[in-house]
Amino acid sequence: MSFNNLGLSEALLKSVREKGYTKPSDIQKEAIPEILKGKDILAGAQTGTGKTAAFALPLLNILQNASSKRRRIRVLVLVPTRELASQVGESFREYGSNLRFKTSILYGGVSINTQIDKLRKGIDIVVATPGRLLDHLNQKTVNLSELETFVLDEADRMLDMGFIRDIKKILKYLPEEKQNLLFSATFPKEILSLADSLLNSPKRIQVRSNNSTADKVIQAVYPVDKSRKRELLAHCIKEERWFQVLVFSRTKHGANKLAQQLKKEGINADALHGNKSQSQRTRALQDFKDAKTQVLVATDIAARGIDINLLPQVVNFDLPYVPEDYIHRIGRTARAGQEGKAISLVSADEHKLLFDIEKLLKSAIPREIIDGFEPEQNLKTEAPKSRPNRRKRPPRSSRKAQKSRSSKSSEQSNTSKARPSWRKKRNKSNTAKNRHSS
């Protein structure tokens, strides 16, 4: 099947050809016709499958065929991060380069006044992060009353970042009658619950099974002692001639530190994380895309907007705490049908994290020990032992009540026995105290 069979206009087909695409991906083949019919969509598609084009192309086609050309916000796309907002917004502009629609990208970290000035000139499509969109809604600088289509992209990441409450606030500003599209790589229970309340008899699309990884990603685990991870990474970059390497760090501080250490090794590296200003993040990402930077060390959240079709190498310097994040990470490579490699540097203390990832994938990731970096602490292959359930100590209030009942019972059972007068007084006193406390 080609794009010509999907019902898109000639102007959009021309844009697709200019970008070098010839055949639609699975998600595009299934989603584009359904969106053109005006149906709600619940789509399961991991990153790198072409899902942005799967909703951008048909929505542009719908706008093009509308009878009214008056400018107002007709499409809202909600995304979790600034980088992803820039990526999605740019996709709308590129695919719509032969059309006359205007797209506005709204995210924090930059002047809101500049965004307000652009909105006043008239906008057809808004791509926004939840926080900044709420800022505009509170200031009444965005009018969503005539919205026709709402897209929630990377819904599972929204959940991970704690945006569900913001999303529910935003939904109150949207009209009841609209088309709703929800895209997510994974479907936790909370996302399914949100979908039930948002979507109206949706078309369910699942191009791959939940929690799966791209077929063309070659995965490997390099067991290594924790203290030698940085040394092994530098060795692989130099000896295996890795170029354009995206390295994942668990923390912002760790990303900065690793980038600085790699620079000392003569490797051109930069860091990308939330503590950087928007201009620094944009520059770091652009330099990496332009191959000016060899290694980009990033945190999970910041890396969500990285979209490089030919990114050959992804490295997990630290394994993520959440197994689903592993899928998002390695999805940065092997995009649009290309091949890619995902290497995880795993120390013995990360055994449990690796086990959880392999349990999610339902398969073991091949291990490969690099000569000269044999770990002193071997990485276990069996499942981590579960801790035995310990009997919980009752709360203090329960212990007091139990002691009180025991005292009363003992007193009643021993009433027939002779006791010293001082013992009897103490028992009476304790009993009175227990009655008062109860």
Domains of the chain listed by start with CATH number: 3-206 (3.40.50.300), 217-361 (3.40.50.300)
**pLDDT digit string, tens, across residues 371-406:** 999 999 887 766 665 555 444 455 555 555 555 555
Nearest residue to 334 via CA among 90, 89, 28, 25: 25
- What is the rounded average pLDDT of the residues 8-20? 93
What is the rounded CA–CA span in Å between residue 356 and residue 352? 6
For β-strands 103-106 and 149-152, DSSP reports them as unpaired
At 425 the three-state DSSP class reads: helix
**pLDDT digit string, tens, across residues 141-171:** 999 999 999 999 999 888 878 899 999 999 9
What is the rounded CA–CA span in Å between residue 59 and residue 119? 20
- What is the rounded average pLDDT of the residues 99-124? 95
For the ranges 240-244, 264-268, 307-311, the maximum mean pLDDT occurs at 264-268
Nearest residue to 153 via CA among 107, 94, 84: 84
What is the rounded CA–CA span in Å between residue 62 and residue 16? 16
Report the share of the chain in percent with pLDDT over 70.
82
- Between these two residues, 322 and 211, which has the higher pLDDT value? 322
What are the Cα distances from residue 203, in Å, to 62, 100, 210, 249, 367? 18, 30, 17, 37, 40
Residue type, position 427, single letter: N
| Range with lowest mean pLDDT among 63-77, 98-112, 249-263, 303-317 | 303-317
What is the rounded CA–CA span in Å between residue 370 and residue 255? 23
**pLDDT digit string, tens, across residues 40-62:** 999 988 766 789 999 999 999 99
Q: Which residue do the tokens 């639609």 mark?
A: 24
* Residue-level pLDDT at 391: 47
The per-residue pLDDT of the chain, averaged, comes to 85
Beta-ladder partners of 295: 245, 269
What phi, psi does 369 have (nearest 5°)?
Answer: -90, 125
**Residues contacting 1, CB < 8 A, separation 6+:** 23, 24, 29
- Between these two residues, 406 and 82, which has the higher pLDDT value? 82
* Residue-level pLDDT at 403: 52
What is the rounded CA–CA span in Å between residue 62 and residue 400? 70
Triad 150, 155, 161: Cα angle to 5°: 125
For the ranges 134-148, 266-280, 365-379, the maximum mean pLDDT occurs at 134-148
For β-strands 41-44 and 75-78, DSSP reports them as unpaired
- What is the rounded average pLDDT of the residues 108-129? 95
Instruction: Find out whether 79 and 129 touch, Cβ atoms under 8 Å.
Output: yes
At 143 the three-state DSSP class reads: coil
| Range with lowest mean pLDDT among 7-16, 296-305, 366-375, 418-427 | 418-427
- Between these two residues, 339 and 398, which has the higher pLDDT value? 339
* Residue-level pLDDT at 1: 80
**pLDDT digit string, tens, across residues 190-232:** 899 999 999 999 999 988 644 455 567 899 999 999 999 999 9
At 92 the three-state DSSP class reads: helix
The answer on pLDDT for 292 being more than 60 is yes
* Residue-level pLDDT at 322: 86
What is the rounded CA–CA span in Å between residue 97 and residue 64? 12
Instruction: Find out whether 247 and 313 touch, Cβ atoms under 8 Å.
Output: no
At 205 the three-state DSSP class reads: strand
Report the share of the chain in percent with pLDDT over 90.
58
At 181 the three-state DSSP class reads: strand
